[in-house]
């Protein structure tokens, strides 16, 4: 019984921190081939590994271009309004613009952290200021779970 409870606890940590958990594809998600096309184009244009970009996209929105977080992040890559504005995108819910902007931001984080994927993913979730302040992955349970979830998905693509 303890082993079962431990396994369930680990799955909860790996697949989501919220009550909703991680869904492979949300009810309003784009189909997998549309996501693959968006990811392929954006990863090539921004120098981000396609598996990493897909892992972040799926962790952020489960493929739903209309997703909005409680904090106000929007679209497939869950861009904050300031990030969208810095990319110059008019509609953060447009899948192409959103993924291109998110890929550019993720690419800049990979560059900033010398291609350390763990730190770039942590910064995508918690912000680069938090990663810099703590000199690594911040001690926030949500961010730590997010990093594990994204890295596991990345390695499986």
Q: How far is CA 63 from the centre of its chain?
A: 11
Asked if 99 and 125 count as a contact pair (C-beta separation under 8 A), the reply is no
The catalytic residue among 60, 76, 98, 150 is 60
> What span, in angstroms and rounded, lies between the C-alpha atoms of 34 and 70?
26
Closest CA to 102 of 114, 91, 113, 87: 87
Q: Is 60 a catalytic residue?
A: yes
31, burial (CB in 10 Å: exposed 0-12, middle 13-18, buried 19+): exposed
> What span, in angstroms and rounded, lies between the C-alpha atoms of 32 and 16?
21
Each residue of 1-17: b (16+ CB within 10 Å) or e?
A: eeeeeeeeeeeeeebbb
**Strand, coil or helix: what is 116?**
coil
Catalytic site positions? 60
């Amino acid at each position: 019984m303890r082993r079962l409870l431990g396994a369930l606890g680990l799955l909860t940590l790996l697949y989501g921190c919220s009550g909703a958990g991680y869904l492979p594809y949300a009810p309003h998600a784009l189909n997998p081939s549309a996501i693959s096309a968006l990811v392929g184009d954006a990863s090539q244009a921004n120098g981000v590994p396609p598996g990493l970009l897909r892992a972040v996209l799926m962790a952020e929105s489960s493929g739903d271009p209309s997703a909005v977080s409680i904090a106000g992040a929007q679209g497939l890559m869950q861009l904050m309004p300031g990030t969208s504005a810095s990319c110059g995108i008019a509609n953060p819910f447009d899948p192409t613009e959103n993924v291109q902007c998110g890929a550019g931001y993720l690419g800049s984080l990979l560059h900033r952290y010398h291609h350390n994927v763990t730190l770039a993913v942590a910064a995508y979730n918690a912000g680069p200021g938090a990663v810099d302040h703590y000199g690594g992955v911040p001690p926030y349970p949500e961010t730590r779970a997010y990093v594990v979830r994204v890295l596991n998905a990345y390695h499986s693509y």
